Each structure stands twice: as C-alpha cells, then as structure tokens.
Amino acid sequence: MSNPAPYQADTTSPKLLLAAVLLCFFLGTIGVHRFYVGKIGTGVLMILTLGGLGVWTLIDLVMLIVGAFRDKEGRKLTQWT
C-alpha cells in the first residue's frame, strides 16, 4: 500500500509574466515590477538605488525571461498571458 503524496501548494503565481517583463523593461529602475509581484520592500530599495544603477534591473529582467523570478509568496511567474 503506497502513501498518498503530501499536499503541495500551488507553485504558480497568478501574476502575469508578460506584465512583469514589460514593467521591468520600461520602469525597472524604479522597481515597478517588484511592486506588481508584491515585493514592496525591495521595490522601495530599487527606487532609492535606481535599480542598483541598472544592474539589479538587468538581473531581474534575465530572471523573468528564464522563468526564475518569484512573487512575494515564493511562487514562480510562469503564465505569459
């Protein structure tokens, strides 16, 4: 007799990946994409540092495109539309 698989919470974010990518590309230096996914604290830090002088914004953009970016609850953004 096998044990049922343990309950796993939904790991997919309800936020759209396309929206986050566009926000990061156009308004990434002020962290709008971070506010969109619920990461308010790091969004404020991005405003204060202008997106880590662009480096932090570039890293976030790459992470979004490859599907490694997560929302506040740790769920991956995977849904494009």
Q: Are 39 and 47 in contact (CB under 8 A)?
A: no
Tell me if residue 81 falls in helix, strand or coil: coil
The mean pLDDT value for 24-35 works out to 95
The number of beta carbons lying within 10 Å of the beta carbon of residue 79 is 13
- Tens of pLDDT along 48-68? 999 999 999 999 999 999 999
Q: pTM of the entire structure?
A: 0.84
The percent of residues in the chain predicted with pLDDT above 70, rounded, is: 88
